[in-house]
Every structure is written in structure tokens, then in C-alpha cells.
Chains A and B, each alone.
Chain A
Amino acid sequence: MELVCPAGNLPSLKAAVDNGADAVYVGFRDATNARHFAGLNFETAQLVQGISYARERGVRVFVAINTYARPDNLKTWEAAVDRTAELGVDAMIVADIGVMDYAATRWPGLKLHLSVQGSATSHEAIRFYAEQFGIRRAVLPRVLSVRQVATTIEQSPVPIEVFGFGSLCVMVEGRCYLSSYLTGSGPNTYGACSPAKFVQWTENGDALETRLNGVLLDRYSAGECAGYPTICKGRYDVGGEIGYAIEEPTSLNVLPILPELQRIGVAAVKIEGRQRSPAYVAKVTAVFREALDACLADPDEFELKNHWLQSLGKVAEGAQTTLGAYNRGWQ
């Protein structure tokens, strides 16, 4: 079970490599990847540096071209595929079948991983991508229980990567239009959920209000900790009750079920957070490296260490963690 870590810039890439990542995933500085935030991601020259830094230390690099191109900008995505192939990276993470078709035709030697944005939640869907485009790995959306992950792995034609830590998308990735419904820009075609330019923080009396393109997402009283505003983690009125109707601000954390993930044959655990700081990447990578090593050495004696949980708790969204859909009770 390998550890795949995020890097939004060169310092984060180095932090991931130095703290024990087996692979690092990155994106270019445009809408071709699902973390298209201002000031984030790589120009080609930086990526060349990053690749050699990782390679010299035996760490692989994956490039995410995992958003959806439209007729008027498909050429931009194809150019990003060309750049990726020419850089000689270890794999490209893709979601759009138009982009996959281009990559498989133009660069048959380039290894493709199916992005979580490809929304494949069953072995039949994964088989489609494997047969049509030769994908070598699939990343599962965060919607399956551990048992369903196990069944999918048993029947999947390719190895399976799952999310292990980070901000929790509670909707099937690739099929969530909440952000674009409010702002016109969403993960699928723009590469960002809740883009910062639409976020407003305003004081209203004692309360702090968060809005997205003018729509009120949440209202915090004094002393309450306000997280980054996304639609699915706001507090709303449903039938007269105000509450987190969709999900609370929380982070996914699979450490409690790491031995089980190993037993069912998960090939890789992915850490979310290319938009986070190098310090976040260093901390989460180090904890997961230590935990994975302990689990790989002796899964039966695997125990959660307090310092792991303390360390992760400090960087978790809403300072709390969950198993999300892996645990059926959450659903």
C-alpha cells in the first residue's frame, strides 16, 4: 500500500518527498486540474525541478489533468497532456474521456490513472476505462463503504487508490454542480470548488457571516471557529431546524481502518490538499508514513498513536475527523 501525497508548489513537493511519500501528485497553473487556485500549482520549469528532486530520492511524480474540457478549450487540455508526456512523468491522472482518448492515441506509452473526478464507483465503470483507454489505476470517489471498496477491488481489472486524509467531498466527485450553481465556476470545468473570488466574510453585529457569490452559507457566533466556506458544509434551514443539513466541517481520516484497507488490497492511499501549505503536507505525510510502516510491518498489532491523532487534528478542517462513507453509519 503506497502513499500518494499532494503538492501545490515546489516547497510542498519537497516536503512530501522528505517526509516519506511514495509518489507526489501535482497540477499545472490553469483550469486543467481540480485545484485551480490563484498562486497555486506548477509552471513547467518548476515541475522539471520537482521531478528531478523526487526522482533522485526514489519518489514518483503524477500529474493531474483531471477536469473537463469543452469544445472551445480542448486544445488547452491536449497541450497539457503533451507537456506531461514530454516531461516523462510516472503517470497522468485523468477524468475526461476526450482527454483520455487523446492521451491514449497520441502517447500510448503514458501511464493513465483514472481520477476521482471520473466518478467510477464500480468495477464495471472501471472496466470501461481500462478497456477503452488502458488506465492502470483508478481512484475511487469518497462514496463507498469499506465492504463496497473490497468488492470493487476483487473485481476491478486495475489496482485501486482511495482517499485517506483531507477535506471531505461528500458528493460523488465529477458530478457535483453545487459550486457552479452559485458561482458559475465549479470543479468540473473550472477546476475549483467555491473559488476564493466569490467568497465573502462579513461582520453582522456579533455574528460573522460567510457568503458565496452573495448567498449566505453560514453564520458564526462569537467564539465559533469559521471554516473555509463551501456549500456542502454550511448551516441551513430545513423544516424550521437550522443545522448542517449536508455535512459538518470535518476531514476524512482513515488511520483507524488502515489495517483493513491493507487486508482488502488497496494499492495506494491518497492524501488530499494540493491547496494546503507545505507544513500541512509535511505533517500529514510524516504521520501517514509512520502509520503505514507500522501497519505493513504488523497489521494485527497496529495501534493508533496519540501523537498521530494530535498532529492530524491540528490540520483537519473543523479540527475534527471522520471515516465518512467508509463507515455505513455515516451514510
Chain B
Amino acid sequence: MTSFDDLELRLSLGPVQFHWSREQLIDFYGDIASTEVDVVYLGETSCSKRRSLRHSDWLDIARVLTDAGKEVVFSTLALVEAGSELGYMRKLCENGDYRVEANDMSAVQMLAGKVPFVGGPTLNIQNHRALAKLAELGMMRWVAPIEATHDVVAGMRFFDKQHLEFEMLAWGPMPLAYSARCYTARARGLTKDDCDTCCSDYPDGLMLATQEGEKLLLINGIQTMSARSVCLAEELVSGSSPVDIVRIGPQAEQTAAVIGIFDDLRRQRRDADAATEALRLLAGAGTCNGYWHGGAGLEAR
């Protein structure tokens, strides 16, 4: 059995995509502190109207996680529209203690040439020339876009001269789109300006199904996600992984169990088939891995 120190593959927990209450977030990260995850991304990436936690609360959580031996990274908003959002982003980028994941070029602009940063999955870094350019500006880790295929990641690795860390989402609903409009508010007959942050009623998103009852998308405020969870446990964890860090997307229940399964897999305590089967039971609307294999995202191969 492999000892922890020998493990080259790290596990990360992505930022919470949904609107959870203060208590839920504090309890959640309290639990995460005792899991085997190595890197934890904190902060709100979807909608700035979600304010369950103050900045000081996030810093408290960051301290708890750091004390538990986790690397903490603060993630920035993916869609930036207001001056106040840029103001908070600047505060995060200049925090001085924790690394920052830039999810928009506005954050890259604030970080470039100043501190090393993580290039988030919404930056659209799809080729080696883009990768090299951002590495030159201080990007130390590339989180692949969710659309990335095996060939894209392998190609990036082939051309990467700066020896960047590669990371990819391997579990959870995939963020598919961002909008000015809030679809949760729309479903409740409200506008975004008067939304009552009603997205807090849907801690795992609001299901959108076709008229034939096929679960298709998750409505999550201004964000639209896949109903199916991506599952790349076999592709990214077993054998020699094409990435350095495998990201798990938080869900309202059973996140620690998911982390446990990925940890078992990387320590070879479970084989890929058993891990994939165990994970499938934890996905409410099924799993998919189509993007990785060059097909439609929702396909399961």
C-alpha cells in the first residue's frame, strides 16, 4: 500500500457552487478538515448576492483548513458585472496569505506579475500558446476547462515547458453556462434584483427536465450546470494520471464519502470499477464522461 507522502496525485475540493447557509458552510468545512483532500478552494464563484459568509468568516475557515494541513486557495467570481464585485476581487487578490484562483481575466489582470496564481476552469486556456503566455504572467497551475479532452490535456503536457501543475474536475455537476439572468428567480416568478436569494432553497440546484422527463440541467442562480455528475475517477486517478490534481465538486450530502472513494482509488485500496460503481450511487442524475473521450459532455462511456 502506498503511504501518503509518496502520493503524487493530489485531491482538491472545488468551490461550493450552490447557495448554502452560514451554518451549513461552517459545518461542511469543519467536516472537510478531517478528510484526505489536499487542496481546498474557497469563496463564491457564481453570484455576488450570495453572502452567507463575511470575508472574515472565510478567513476563519481558511485557518482551520490550513491548520489541518490543507492548501487553501480563494476562487474569484466567474462572471463580473459590477464595480463592487471588482472591489472584492481586488481584496482577494491582494490578501497576501492565500493563493488565488482567477476565474476571469479581470482577476488575472490583478494578479499578473505580482503573485503566482491558479488559472481557473472558466479562463478558456485551450492551447499551449495560451498556457505559456499565462505561465509567463505568473500562472503556476492550470485548471482545464470542463470541455477539455484527453488529447487536449496530453497535448498541453507535451508542449508545457514551464512544468505547470495541471488540475481537472473529476466529480460533480459541471458548470455549463453563466448569465446576467437568474434562472432560479425566473422559475419562482421573480427578477434578479428582487430574488430574495431564493437559490438557498436548492442546496444541490433546481432540476430542469425535458418534457419527456429526462433530467437535463441544474438551475443554480445565474449558473446552469449539468444534471449528470462528471465522473473521471478511472481516467484521472487510476494508473498514471495526466494531471497532478483531481478536483471534486462539493455537493450538499456525501462529499466526504466521495473524497473517501477517490482517496481509496489513489491509494489502490479500491479498483477503478469498484470506485466508479460506488460513485455512481452518489450521483442523483447519473454520471457522464463524454467530454474527456471527445464526445458530447453528457455521454457515459
Contacts and interface: CB of A to CB of B under 8 A. Distances in A.
**Same complex:** yes
Contacts of B180: 142-145, 170, 172, 324-325, 330-331
A181 B226 contact: yes
Contacts of B78: 175
Nearest to A213: B296
A296 interface: no
Interface residues of B, number: 71
A175 B124 contact: yes
A281 interface: no
Nearest to A328: B193
Interface in B186-218: 186-187, 191-193, 206-214, 216-217
A236 B216 contact: yes
Contacts, number: 220
Contact of B155 (A71, A96, A127, A184): A71
Given A124-B110, A184-B290, A238 B206 contact: yes
Interface in B147-171: 147, 151-152, 155-156, 158-159
Nearest to A190: B147
Choose among B127, B147, B158, B181 the residue with the greatest number of A CB atoms under 10 Å from its CB. B127
A239 B127 contact: no
Main secondary structure of the interface of B (DSSP, over half): mixed
Contact of B208 (A102, A143, A245): A245
A219 B146 CA distance: 30
Interface stretch (A20-28, A34-42, A114-122): A114-122
Choose among A119, A148, A181 the residue with the greatest number of B CB atoms under 10 Å from its CB. A181
Interface string B74-91: 000011111101100000
Contacts of B214: 215-216
A191 to B, nearest CB: 13
Contact of B178 (A97, A172, A186): A172
A313 B31 CA distance: 56
Interface in A184-220: 184, 186, 188-189, 213, 215-219
Given A101-B130, A170-B179, A329-B193, 7 more contacts: A68-B124, A98-B131, A119-B124, A171-B179, A184-B295, A241-B187, A246-B181
6 contacts: A71-B152, A74-B128, A175-B79, A177-B297, A217-B210, A234-B210
Interface of B: 78-83, 85-86, 104-106, 108-110, 112, 122, 124-131, 133-134, 137, 146-147, 151-152, 155-156, 158-159, 174, 176-183, 186-187, 191-193, 206-214, 216-217, 219, 224, 226, 290-291, 294-299
